[in-house]
Amino acid sequence: MLLITTLNFNHINHYLQSQSRDNLSVLLLTGGWLEAMQITCQTAATNPGNKELQEKIGEQKIILEQILLLFSVYQNDTNMVGLAADLEQLKAAFDKININYTYKESTMEVVDGVAIIKDNSTTTIDITPQNVEEIKNITNSIRTKIIS
């Protein structure tokens, strides 16, 4: 299923790029991400003790930064500017979350012809239920705006 979905998206992306409509690929991607965010935030809200779910939401800070990078290419596209502004508002909420990265050299060994890596680096994500609530509210408002 994932294979079919990924290959389909790649085909759509290549087609849209060839038609100089690559902005639609970005919108497609952003729409999917917002939908997934909305579901995850709703689930996290009903399970406030689930730290893993909260961290999963916090990790999306990195994804949002990449999405905004894509949007920066379309600063002159009036159809994109409005959504970019909404995403900036979401970014402000994500900016309150800290992702701390510590690098430690990894170790490797070869087992049955595959290099198995032991990753010794770590990340910690500082996120509170209040952060999740704020992200959930902004995500909902962006989603409502898109679908209405």
Q: Which parts of this chain interact with other proteins (CB under 8 A)? A: 2-3, 6, 55-56, 59, 62-63, 66, 99, 101-103, 105-106, 108, 110, 113-123, 125
Min dist CB 106 to other proteins, Å, is: 5
Compare residues 61 and 136 and give the one whose CB is closer to other proteins. Answer: 61
Min dist CB 80 to other proteins, Å, is: 22
Compare residues 35 and 77 and give the one whose CB is closer to other proteins. Answer: 35
User: How far apart (Å, rounded) are the C-alpha atoms in residues 36 and 41?
Assistant: 9
What SS3 string covers 17-52?
A: HHCCCHHHHHHHHHHHHHHHHHHHHHHHHHCCCCHH
Q: Where are the beta strands (DSSP E) in the chain?
A: 98-102, 107-111, 114-118, 122-126
Min dist CB 55 to other proteins, Å, is: 8
